[in-house]
Amino acid sequence: MKLAKIIGTVVATRKDESLVGYKLMIIRRIDGKGEFIDSEEVAVDYVGAGIGEIVLIGQGSAVRVDKTKREAAIDMAIIGIVDTMDI
Amino acid sequence: MKLAKIIGTVVATRKDESLVGYKLMIIRRIDGKGEFIDSEEVAVDYVGAGIGEIVLIGQGSAVRVDKTKREAAIDMAIIGIVDTMDI
Amino acid sequence: MKLAKIIGTVVATRKDESLVGYKLMIIRRIDGKGEFIDSEEVAVDYVGAGIGEIVLIGQGSAVRVDKTKREAAIDMAIIGIVDTMDI
Amino acid sequence: MKLAKIIGTVVATRKDESLVGYKLMIIRRIDGKGEFIDSEEVAVDYVGAGIGEIVLIGQGSAVRVDKTKREAAIDMAIIGIVDTMDI
Amino acid sequence: MKLAKIIGTVVATRKDESLVGYKLMIIRRIDGKGEFIDSEEVAVDYVGAGIGEIVLIGQGSAVRVDKTKREAAIDMAIIGIVDTMDI
C-alpha cells in the first residue's frame, strides 16, 4: 500500500455504470515525513475517510477482492485511515 | 484512477481482433492544477468522451470487469468524465 | 496502451516453454511527437508488425485474454499498428 | 521482488475488514548496496520480520495466491527475510 | 518483458512457504546498449540462467500462468536467456 493524504473530491456524472454510488476522492501520495510526493490521483473511498486524513491506498485487483466489488472498474481505493506511523 | 485530458485520436487498422469496434483516444495525464504530466498514452473510450475533456483513466484488469470486455486486450480506458474537481 | 516504435529483435533459444513460437521484438516507447522516451523493452508480436513501425503496446493480463494465450508467460505485446495519430 | 528495509509500523484502526489481523509495516526500498531508494510504502508482514531487517517485497496478485488471502485487500507484502546478498 | 543482467544471488531462509525450492537471483535492468538502468531487483530463475547472463524478465501474473506456479508468491521471473539482440 501507499501512504497518501486526501486533498479533495471529484464529481463525474457521466461514468462507467459500475462506479455509480462510489465516492471519488482526490488523493496525493506522501512519504514517511508526511511530505507530498508524486501527483494527484483519484481513489474510491471504502472506509468513510475525510479531507485532510492520512490514508492507506490499495491498488490493482487487491481492491476488488470483495464479492460486491468484483465487477466494479476500480483500480485504486482508500482501504484504511492511518492513526499513527512509528518510524 | 488517474486524471487526464483527451488530446487526440489514433487510427490502427491492423490490430488485435478483440479491439475492433473500440474508439482509441490519445490522452495525457494531468495533475490537480490541470497541468500536463507524463507522456501521451492511448485509452479506449467507455463513456463517449470528446477531445479536450478532463477524464478519469482506469488501468489494468479493472477495465475488463464487464462481461462484454473480459476477452478484450484493453489495459487502459476512459471510465468517467470529470465535471468538477474540488481541491 | 503505450505508443512505441519497433527497433529490433531478440533471439532467446533457452526460454520458458510457453514462449516457444512467439516473435520477440525490441520496442521503445515514444511520446505524441514520436520522440523516444524510456528505455528499450521486449514485446511479443501479435499483429505481424515490422521494424520501424509505430505500434500500440498492451501490458499485463490484458495481453493474455485470448484462449490461446492464457498459459503463455507474456506481459507485454504489440496489439496494433498505428496508421495515423491526430493530436 | 524488490529489496527493502523495514523502518517502522503503521496503526490503522479503521480499515477494510479484510485487513483485520494483519501487521502493517513501513518499508523503504533499497538497492544492491543497501542504500535507500524511492519513498516509504506499507507492506503486510507474512514472515514475522522485525524493524531493521532487509526483506523481499512481493507486489500485486502474487501476494494473494494463498487460499487464506484470496479475499484480503493486500497489494504488497513482506515475503522473505534476506540472510545474505552476493553481488 | 524487460532486458536485464543477472548480477548476484540472494539467500532467504525464512520466506513464504510457496517460495521454497526456487532460486532467487539479483538482476538489474539494462537498456538496448547493455547499460544498467534502474536499481537491483530479485527474480526467480525459471530457465537455469547464470551470473553475468543477459536475460528476459517477466512480471506480474504472467509468471504464474504455469499450473505448478499458480500458488507461488512470485511477481518477477527470469523467463529467457538472450542469445543476441539486433537493434
Q: Which amino acid is at E10?
A: V
- Residues contacting B21, CB < 8 A, separation 6+: none
- Per-residue model confidence (pLDDT) at position B17: 97
- Per-residue model confidence (pLDDT) at position B10: 98
**Per the CB < 8 Å rule, is A3 touching D28?**
no
- Per-residue model confidence (pLDDT) at position C68: 95
A2 to chain B, any CB pair closer than 8 A? The answer is no
Residue D86 β-bridge partners: E9
Residue A10 β-bridge partners: B85
D76 to chain A, any CB pair closer than 8 A? The answer is yes
A72 to chain B, any CB pair closer than 8 A? The answer is yes
What residue in A sits closest to B64 (Cα-Cα)? A73
DSSP per position, chain B: -EEEEEEEEEE-SSB-GGGTTPPEEEEEEB-TTS-B-S--EEEEESS---TT-EEEEEEGGGGG-SGGGTTS--SEEEEEE-SEEE-
**Radius of gyration, alpha carbons of chain A:** 13
- The three grid cell numbers given for residue B41, joined into one nine-digit string: 498514452
**Per the CB < 8 Å rule, is E61 touching D62?**
yes
Q: Give contacts of C43 with chain E, Cβ < 8 Å.
A: 1
DSSP per position, D16-83: -GGGTTPPEEEEEEB-TTS-B-S--EEEEESS---TT-EEEEEEGGGGG-SGGGTTS--SEEEEEE-S
Q: Give contacts of A5 with chain B, Cβ < 8 Å.
A: none
On whether the CB atoms of residues B56 and B79 are closer than 8 A, the answer is: yes
Cβ-based contacts under 8 A for chains B and C = 99
Q: Which residues of chain D have pLDDT under 50?
A: none
Q: For residue B70, give how far its alpha carbon lies from the nearest alpha carbon of chain A (Å).
A: 11
- Interface probe for B, chosen from A19, A42, A63 (most Cβ of B below 10 Å), is A42
**Per the CB < 8 Å rule, is B3 touching A64?**
no
Q: What 3 state SS string does C11-66 have?
A: ECCCECHHHCCCCEEEEEEECCCCCECCCCEEEEECCCCCCCCEEEEEEHHHHHCC
**Per the CB < 8 Å rule, is B70 touching C66?**
no
What residue in B sits closest to A63 (Cα-Cα)? B62
Q: Give contacts of E1 with chain C, Cβ < 8 Å.
A: 24, 41-43, 75-76
Q: Give contacts of B68 with chain C, Cβ < 8 Å.
A: none
| pLDDT tier at B4, thresholds 50, 70, 90 | very high
| pLDDT tier at A74, thresholds 50, 70, 90 | very high
The interface pTM score, or ipTM, of the predicted complex is: 0.97
Mean pLDDT of C37-64: 98
**Domain C2-81 CATH class label:** mainly beta
**Per the CB < 8 Å rule, is A16 touching B48?**
no
Tell me: the pLDDT tens digits for C7-50?
Answer: 999 999 999 999 999 999 999 999 999 999 999 999 999 999 99
Instruction: Compute the distance between CA of residue A49 and CA of residue A32 in angstroms, rounded to an integer.
Output: 20
- Per-residue model confidence (pLDDT) at position E59: 98
Tell me: the pLDDT tens digits for C65-84?
Answer: 999 999 999 999 999 999 99
Looking up cell 499485463 gives C60
Q: For residue C76, give how far its alpha carbon lies from the nearest alpha carbon of chain E (Å).
A: 6
- Residues contacting C25, CB < 8 A, separation 6+: C6, C8, C9, C10, C42, C43, C44, C45, C49, C51, C78
CB within 8 Å of chain B, chain A residues 18-37 = 18-19, 24, 26, 28
Q: For residue C11, give how far its alpha carbon lies from the nearest alpha carbon of chain E (Å).
A: 5
E87 to chain C, any CB pair closer than 8 A? The answer is yes
**Per the CB < 8 Å rule, is D73 touching A62?**
yes
Tell me: the pLDDT tens digits for E47-79?
Answer: 999 999 999 999 999 999 999 999 999 999 999
Instruction: Compute the distance between CA of residue D61 and CA of residue D71 in angstroms, rounded to an integer.
Output: 11
Mean pLDDT of chain A: 98
**Radius of gyration, alpha carbons of chain E:** 13
- The three grid cell numbers given for residue E44, joined into one nine-digit string: 526467480
| pLDDT tier at B72, thresholds 50, 70, 90 | very high
- Per-residue model confidence (pLDDT) at position D37: 97
On whether the CB atoms of residues A43 and A10 are closer than 8 A, the answer is: no
- Residues contacting E75, CB < 8 A, separation 6+: D1, D58, D59, D60, D62, D63, E59, E60, E63
C72 to chain E, any CB pair closer than 8 A? The answer is yes
β-strand pairing of A76-81 with A41-45: parallel
Instruction: Compute the distance between CA of residue D27 and CA of residue D59 in angstroms, rounded to an integer.
Output: 13
Burial of B84: CB neighbours in 10 Å, binned 0-12, 13-18, 19+: exposed
Instruction: Compute the distance between CA of residue E40 and CA of residue D4 in angstroms, rounded to an integer.
Output: 11
